[in-house]
Amino acid sequence: MKLTFLGTGAGSPSLTRNVSSLGLQWPQRAALWLFDAGEGTQQQVLKSSLKLSHLEQIWVTHLHGDHVFGLPGLLASRSSAQDIQTPVTIFGPAGLEEWLRTTLRLTATGLKFPLQFVTVSEGLVYEDDTREVHCRRLNHRVTSYGYAVREKPRPGTFDADAAKALGVPFGPQFGVLKAGGSVILPDGRSVDGAALVGPLRLGRKIVICGDTGVTPAATELSQGADILVHEATFMTDQQERAVAAGHSTAAEAATVAREAEVGTLILTHISARYESETPPRVSDLLAEALAIFPNTLLAHDFWTYEVPAP
């Protein structure tokens, strides 16, 4: 699993940070999921190593423009690319499908591939053979969701050497034992695969909290996550403004990470004020979070983060 930050700014693009978009790659599947697509996301994709041909799903946290205005252009670019006809599914709040389909219709933008929509609500919103996604409603001026992406547990490691020592011939019987079944050897002995397979290997959990103020839902959703990507629009000196706008300070994001006992916190959605001030105060914003949760990183555009294997 690999995270690529396409836009890490808040509200409006700046010279150094575009508005919100985050790519999650599943290299073993050659698959790409996007979380939000603010204005200019298609251009950010072109500047990155991501491929629109791999795009399978788009997860929208909420309907503010800095999180969705890039969707029409992104989809149009994917459609204009040669031979990309695989479907894209877009998950998000109520109203997203109406807005996007209306925009595409009024601009006469036809897509060569099927476009599917899922209106999300709290709980389990997606599941396949190896992954599941849960969401919780957060605390913002409009309906805004956080998403928890979790890999399902995988079977434990099969002890092939122990099987050979028991006299199990290499072949189909190995497969039976790997699956936890039992086999009968030519001498009549029974070998139980459960004794040769280690405990289940837990999958990784990544949580993306879109725009949000303080809410227990963020902590509950993030519980035990390996990676928490959380907005940090302001520092504590702008606390009143953060509350009024439904945003979080760096200290509040770090408090969520500490209380949820996550592995690593990644801050994003950074107000341009902290880079335009003289001297820039982005390092101060990071320091505010580090004082509460030491394993904190600050995202920047085009930064790629490899999610450690469990």
Whether residue 66 lies in the annotated active site: yes
Contacts of 297 (CB under 8 A, 6+ apart): 264, 265, 266, 267, 305
> What is the spatial distance between Cα 86 and Cα 97, in angstroms, rounded to a whole number?
19
DSSP state of 25: E
CA neighbor of 156 nearest in space, from 194, 111, 105: 194
Instruction: Report the length, in residues, of the chain.
Output: 310
CB atoms within 10 A of CB 104: 18
For residues 145 and 250, the answer to whether their CB atoms sit within 8 Å is no
Longest dimension (CA), the chain: 81
Nearest to 273 by CA among 284, 264, 265, 282: 282
Q: Are 224 and 263 in contact (CB under 8 A)?
A: no
Q: Which of 36, 66, 211, 226 is catalytic?
A: 66
Q: Which residues are catalytic?
A: 66
